[in-house]
Chains A and B, each alone.
Chain A
Amino acid sequence: MDILLAIAIMALGAVVLGAALGFASIKFKVEGDPLVEKIEAILPQTQCGQCGYPGCKPYAEAIAKGECDINLCPPGGMEGVQRLADLLGREVKPLDAEEKPKQVAIIDENTCIGCTLCIQACPVDAIVGAAKQMHTIIAQQCTGCELCLPPCPVECIHMEVIGENIDNWKWKYPVVEIKAAPLPAQNASGDGSDGMKDAA
């Protein structure tokens, strides 16, 4: 009898709580995923596809769904990984590729044959030109994604690193980090053992 009563009470509780939760899941239904926008705001928007997704938004969606790692975006660099990790509470991982300095594409205007293939490839419409006309890149709009390099039939596009100039120069971090360098450490231990010998 006791055991039946216990079961009945637990069942009653389950039914009541289940009903409450069911109601809440309808009432608080989440539409869309606002998180995607926050992730996308961190991504550098180069639309380069180096993460394996066709653009920054699909990558952001994949991260939000937890389908992929947060370290796949080389243009975002280690800093981007760090910020994604902060946002999502995930662990910081080393970047899955080499970090490159910021670049800009340059068309060698003597070699360009005006095929418009790069214009089609450019994700941000930073190349102007028309068929049979020389093309040129609007440097301010170029994200340095390198997507225009493979389609060019005459290889007239090359990437140039954007150097430091007075406008984008940054004050350096005033702290000189003391790192555990292997060589001085050896010396130190060597000194120590010498001292030991002397003492002995």
Chain B
Amino acid sequence: MLFNLFKFKGGVKPPTNKTQSTTLPIAAAPLPSRLVVPLHQSIGGTPRPVVEAGDRVLKGQLIGQADGWISAAVHAPTSGTVVEVAMHVQPHPSGLDALCVVIAPDGKDEWIARTPLDYAALTPEAVREHLQQSGVVGLGGAVFPTHGKLTASKTVPMEELIINGAECEPFITCDDLLMRERAEEVVRGIGIFRDLLQPKKVLIGIEDNKPEAAAAMRAAVETLGEDFAVVQVPTLYPAGGAKQLIRVLTGKEVPASKRSTDLGVQCFNVATAYTAWRAIAHGEPVVSRLVTVTGNVHHPRNYEVLIGTPMDELLKLAQPHPDTDGIIMGGPMMGFLVPQASVPVVKATNCLIAHDDRLFPPKAPEMPCIRCGACAQACPHELQPFEMYWFSRAKNFGKTQEYAIFDCIECGCCSFVCPSRIPLVQYFRFAKSEIWAREREKNAADQAKSRFEFKQLREEREKAEKAEKLAKAAAAQAAKKAAEAAAAAAAEAQPAAGEAAPASQAVAAVDPEKAAKRATIEAAMARAKAQREAAQPKNTDHLTPGQQKEVAEIEARRSGSRIEDRGSSEPAPAEPAAPTSPLDPNN
């Protein structure tokens, strides 16, 4: 099919190193000794754990409930026993801990009851809900919950649905193998997305260095009778970036401030389409993914790996060379060295590269920027990395934003071509995270400010109300004194009416009725007093002398204030019996 392709500026052509891992078909990785499943595996809210240590779980059983709309559920990757729900080191450049569910597999790999769905009979909302419950997230690396991307813009008609099979990063071949071996299910998954988004066109972009995958996809599209276009795009890093692929296939540019649906485009990874199909047609939540294990190993290969498998156990399957000194998660351009070899495989893990100095020679020291502009030529987003670098380095974050640092996708092209070997992307990440931190602080400050102002407003209002009440009470007392003599006799006869009477009524009321109320109020006050006396702090047994002294002081102060209280509250009769404190912030 002839197809009019567009181009994006820049890009680089690093050695692809893909053939090593495509010689062997996908293999299922054996059950590991234990599974550490992080709860936070997608963008958005951290799922809440719904299992406890000691629980027996089945494969596919929910262990983390999605928190909020942009969040995806997490499931047990195999059957076994929950050992603990605790903090473990994450496959994250920070090397920090996060909450994980640790499962000891029982070896049976026993599935929970799976119910296939007929999605054609369901409403789109129900399908999205099901995808969320199945933990389907973008498997290209960004792990954005897929259901959140499956709503078309209300104003802009959906033009193109882009399916990303470009896989531009060197070494990674998991999408390639997936398309070769499971093309039919991928295409069926794309069918679900198509039905939900109703685009005019569906374009499957595959880099032209993967002819087998493209052929398999074409064949699958044909057998299923779909009208998806399989388009081979030129091999150029980062053609697999969502924005670049959209640009190449449609000519549209998505700015950082907009979502792609605002331009009538949406983009999904092929692996996401595959898991979406498994989730809907087989009722299987996302408990495993394809991972390329390559680099400094004897047998580079793609494995179907359970989420939570420790990386060192997975790497052993490919028999790493003895001089391996680290594991890179992701590709060599955008990946990072994991902080510990035992961190688990997560939904974002598309590739593990055994690191050694031969494959990745240590970088020569950074030299000053000579403003040669090579980075600007390589930047696929037409940014000026040397300017952003200059201002990030000077911590002039306002200026970095003027140079559109948030349009940077951190692809690493600029660092790749820099003749001074400046780690430009690190500077951009630093600047971005600083800007985000500031944003967070600003939001917190704004919130604190509005709460503070509201508190002041409330205090003033309360003061005004209290003054009003006191004035009313004084007036009431004057009236009372006048009526007291007449009411004295009648008071005996009247039975106590009800509990705590509102003060405002007492003001207007006269004669016997009022006297009755007064009796009621006095009874309520006596009750309150009794309660107050009865309520003693309970943990006063083992106190140090200092604490005891303090408690004594507090008690003294309290009894003092109580007397004051009573003195002041007597004219305002309803107050002591009021069930809630006026200090309650909910008041």
A residues with a Cβ closer than 8 A to B are 40, 43-47, 55-56, 110-111, 113, 115-116, 119-120, 123-132, 141, 143, 153-155, 164-166, 168-175
What residues of chain B lie closer than 8 Å to A153, measured between beta carbons?
Answer: 550-551, 553-554, 557
Contact of A45 among B440, B448, B583 (CB under 8 A): B448
B6 within 8 Å of A (CB atoms): no
Q: Who on chain A is nearest to B554 by CB?
A: A153
**Residues of B participating in the A interface, judged by any CB pair closer than 8 Å:** 40, 90, 92-94, 96-98, 393, 395, 423, 426-427, 429-430, 432-434, 437, 440-441, 444-449, 451-452, 454-455, 535, 537, 539, 547, 550-551, 553-554, 557, 580-581, 583-586
Q: Which residues of A contact B551 (CB under 8 A)?
A: 153-154
A171 with B539: CB separation less than 8 A:
no
A-B contact count (CB 8 A): 102
- The distance from the CB of A112 to the nearest CB of chain B, in whole angstroms, is 9
A141 proximity list for chain B (CB < 8 A): 447-448, 451
In whole angstroms, how far apart are the Cα atoms of A126 and B450 in the complex? 12
Q: Give the distance in Å from the alpha carbon of A174 to the alpha carbon of B421 in the complex.
A: 13
The contact sample of 28 A-B pairs, CB cut-off 8 A, is A43-B445, A44-B441, A44-B448, A45-B448, A45-B452, A47-B448, A111-B539, A116-B583, A119-B583, A119-B584, A123-B448, A123-B452, A124-B451, A124-B455, A125-B451, A131-B583, A132-B535, A153-B550, A153-B554, A153-B557, A155-B550, A165-B96, A166-B40, A166-B94, A166-B96, A170-B433, A170-B434, A174-B430
* A195 → B minimal CB distance (Å): 26
**Given A123-B452, A168-B440; 11 other pairs, CB 8 A cutoff:** A44-B448, A113-B537, A131-B581, A132-B535, A141-B448, A143-B448, A153-B553, A154-B547, A165-B97, A170-B437, A173-B430
Q: Which of A166, A168, A175 contacts B92 (CB 8 A)?
A: A166
Interchain CB contact under 8 A, B584 and A130: yes
With contact pairs A110-B539, A120-B583 given, residues A125 and B449 touching in the complex (Cβ less than 8 Å):
no
Q: How far is the CA of A45 from the CA of B454 in the complex (A)?
A: 13
- Whether the pair A143, B96 counts as a contact (CB closer than 8 A) is no
Does the CB pair B90–A128 fall under 8 Å? no
Contact A171 B98 (CB under 8 A): no
Chain A: CB-nearest residue to B448: A45
- Find the B residue at minimum CB distance from A111: B539
Cβ of B426: which chain A residues have Cβ within 8 Å of it?
171, 174
A129 / chain B contacts, CB cutoff of 8 Å: 584
B200 to chain A, nearest CB (A): 39
Contacts of B433 in A (CB 8 A): 169-171
A residues less than 8 Å from B445 (CB atoms): 43-45
Q: Once bound together, how far apart are the Cα atoms of A155 and B549, in whole Å?
A: 13
Which 6 pairs from chain A and chain B are nearest by CB? A45-B445, A153-B554, A171-B429, A124-B451, A170-B433, A45-B448
Could you tell me the distance between the alpha carbons of A46 and B441 in the complex, rounded to whole angstroms?
11
| B585 CB contacts on chain A under 8 angstroms | 119, 125, 127-128
With both beta carbons as reference points, the residue of chain A lying nearest to B429 in the complex is identified as: A171
Determine how close the nearest CB of chain B comes to the CB of A58; give it in whole angstroms: 12
Kindly provide the distance from the CB of B338 to the nearest chain A CB, expressed in whole angstroms. Answer: 14
Q: Are B581 and A171 in contact (CB under 8 A)?
A: no
Q: Complex: how many Å from CA A168 to CA B585?
A: 29
Assembled-state Cα–Cα distance A183/B127 (Å): 67
B93 vs chain A, min Cβ distance (A): 8
Give the CA-CA distance A43 to B551 in the complex, in Å. Answer: 38
Distance of A143 Cα from B90 Cα, bound (Å) = 29
Inter-chain contacts of B429 with A (CB < 8 A): 171
Q: Which residues of A contact B40 (CB under 8 A)?
A: 166
Among A45, A168, A170, the residue within 8 A (CB) of B449 is A45
Alpha-carbon separation in the docked complex, A131 to B23 (Å): 72
Q: Which residues of B contact A47 (CB under 8 A)?
A: 448, 452
The CA-CA distance from A166 to B531 in the complex, in Å, is 48
Query: What CA separation (Å) do A190 and B547 show in the bound complex?
Result: 59
- Within the complex, what minimum Cβ distance (angstroms) separates B442 from chain A? 8
With known contacts A45-B446, A46-B448, A170–B554 Cβ distance under 8 A: no
Q: For B448, list chain A residues within 8 Å (CB).
A: 44-47, 123-124, 141, 143
Whether A174 pairs with B427 at a CB distance below 8 angstroms is yes
A154-B586 contact given A45-B445, A123-B452, A168-B437, CB 8 Å threshold: no
Complexed CA–CA distance, A129 and B584 (Å): 6
Which chain A residue shows the least CB distance to B389? A174
Q: Is the CB of B94 within 8 A of A174?
A: no
Q: Please determine whether B98 and A165 come into contact, CB atoms closer than 8 angstroms.
A: yes
Q: Cα distance A194–B427 when bound, in Å?
A: 41
Q: How far is the CA of A129 from the CA of B426 in the complex (A)?
A: 46
Bound: A172/B93 CA distance, A: 11
